[in-house]
Amino acid sequence: MASTTRTTSAPRKDEETTPRPATVVARDEEHQAQRTWRRRDLLDVDVLSADEIEIVMETADAMQEILSRQIPKAPTLRGRTVATIFYEASTRTRASFEWAVKALSGDVVNLAPSTSSVTKGESLIDTVRTLQSMGAGSIVLRHPESGAAAVAARHANVPVINAGDGRHAHPTQALLDLYTMRAHWRGDERDPIRGRKVAVVGDVLHSRVARSNAWALTAMGADVVFCGPPTLTPDEITEGFRHAGRTVTVVNDVDMALDGADAVIALRLQSERQIQGLLPSLRSYVRGYQIDAERLGRAKSDVLLMHPGPINEGVEVTPEVAAGPRSVVQEQVQHGIAVRMAVLYLTMTGQSEVGPAA
Amino acid sequence: MTDGATDGERTVLDADQVRRALMRIGHEITERNGGATDLYLVGVHTRGVPLAERIAGAISTFEDEEVPVASIDIGLYRDDLAVGRSGSRSLRPSELPGDVTGKVVVLVDDVLYTGRSVRAAMDALMDLGRPRAVQLAVMVDRGHRELPIRADYVGKNVPTAPAERVMVRLVEVDGEDGVVITLGD
């Protein structure tokens, strides 16, 4: 993390030769008063303004600084408990949230469906109420049904953070992807995200990651291109964006989609799609859409290759590309903790006078 | 932020008085610490940071050494999180020029009131290292302490009623310099 010496007269010799971190560049911005976050819940990205997204980014910078310390911990959530409910398998998202809570000195209670009475048919609303009565300070929810987080939030009186609901949304993934791009692209005068071309490649139809990323990126002024076989990129996937006045294009040719791209997000291909008859075969997908070195060569030379994980090795991307110099997959994982710390801090530390988010 | 506060506003310090107070504080800091060696100025976001920069600038006019300026955000260390607050403030990364261990750190803030922000700032600082000593410089001490904390360097002591608001305005943040009192909001 950037740590800078600011002296009051001419910079010393070594400072003239080394590039100065972005945090010192704009004096006015540096002294700007802090902004206020007013949402209780984080359910979707489509409602977030560019300003709100910027608040998360800025706060995540502060969390990165905490994580870079010898003792990477702050006392902010001391004595408060975050309940995570995962009705769907997830290793990294759950671990990332847990890590984030602990870095802020909070406690975590994990609920996994196989070990709880969810298998006995206990409803989502019951589960939310029970955890709330036990004293949960917020609820992190993953659920296979689109809209589950919104239902939970309607019945909760504590913050609800959507950790993925069906095909609908995965806000923290989109925010951490954006944070990773911003970390690479800021520093010079220009806006880090505006005007950048981001290609999202794969099973767009079933992907909450694609949808949330497109909302976040278009809010910040990036150009988003969805790419995949026609069966997985039907016209209706861009309708919501069109209604909201955002532009997202669909391109079925992967070479065209990657042409001049600043970032490529490869989506995870769920093997059950084949069974549903949406893909003739895995081989044909690999032939048409796998990101290999040659295809990635069409993008900008400093392109960022991203994947929400876990990667199906040799399907969405070749192993060489996944482990190659353009891959920022490990950074995404690391930034995920800082971004989730920011979201937990923002939703959990100021909600007492505000009702549920609109 | 300070918009619409012109009604019933009382000026306590004007721009020149702010400048002179900061120059005096610069002198007091070096006098008390025998120079500027091992000194660190740490501004508390938001207005403490430009204040710390200006004090460092003042010191550089009469000492040979440069005083490093750092900033900390106390948001994660407050004791009033989720208690009657109407929203969460975004955070700024704390920027420290290296290790504070063994240094004399002067915390710089705009207004000293209950002392709770200073308590939070000290906790934030201690998480970053072990300074040899910590001193406190503020533009305004308005009284009404709730914790056993006092300032080592004070721009001006201003007796106030709890309902009043004291605002330190700085060019870097607010476009003008001055200290004013208004009747609550």
**In chain A, where are the structural domains located?**
50-169+335-348, 171-329
The mean pLDDT of B26-49, rounded to a whole number, is: 95
B175 touches chain A (CB under 8 A): no
d(CA A338, CA A70): 16
Q: Among B57, B91, B95, select the one facing A58 at the smallest CB separation.
A: B91
B69 touches chain A (CB under 8 A): yes
CB contact under 8 A, A2 and B95: yes
B68 touches chain A (CB under 8 A): yes
pTM across the whole model: 0.86
CATH 3.40.50.620 holds for A171-329 = no
| Domains A50-169+335-348 and A171-329 agree in fold | yes
User: B100-111 as b/e, with b when 16 or more CB fall inside 10 Å?
Assistant: beebbbbbbbbb
Chain B nearest CA to A176, separation (Å): 17
d(CA B146, CA B162): 12
Q: Residue B90: its chain A contacts at CB < 8 A?
A: 34-37, 55, 58-59, 346
Q: Among B82, B92, B172, select the one facing A352 at the smallest CB separation.
A: B82
- The SS3 assignment for A304 reads strand
B128 touches chain A (CB under 8 A): yes
Tell me the pLDDT tens digit for each residue of A14-67. Answer: 333 333 333 332 334 556 667 889 999 999 999 999 999 999 999 999 999 999
d(CA A161, CA B106): 40
Provide the pLDDT for residue A19.
36
Tell me the pLDDT tens digit for each residue of B100-125. Answer: 899 999 999 999 999 999 999 999 99
Q: Among B60, B88, B98, select the one facing A8 at the smallest CB separation.
A: B60
Tell me the pLDDT tens digit for each residue of A228-272. Answer: 999 999 999 999 999 999 999 999 999 999 999 999 999 999 776
Residue A261 near residue A288 (C-beta atoms within 8 A): no
Query: Picking from A4-8, A130-134, A155-159, A274-278, which range would have the lowest pLDDT averaged per residue?
Result: A4-8
Q: Beta-strand (E) ranges in chain A? A: 36-37, 81-86, 107-111, 136-143, 160-165, 197-201, 223-227, 248-251, 263-266, 304-306
As a whole-number percent, the residues of chain B with pLDDT over 70 amount to 92
d(CA B98, CA A47): 40
d(CA A212, CA A241): 11
Q: Which domains does chain B have, with CATH numbers?
A: 16-160 (3.40.50.2020)
CB contact under 8 A, A7 and B68: yes
d(CA B160, CA B143): 7
d(CA B18, CA A2): 32
> Which positions ≥6 away from A18 have C-beta within 8 Å?
none
CATH of domain A50-169+335-348: 3.40.50.1370
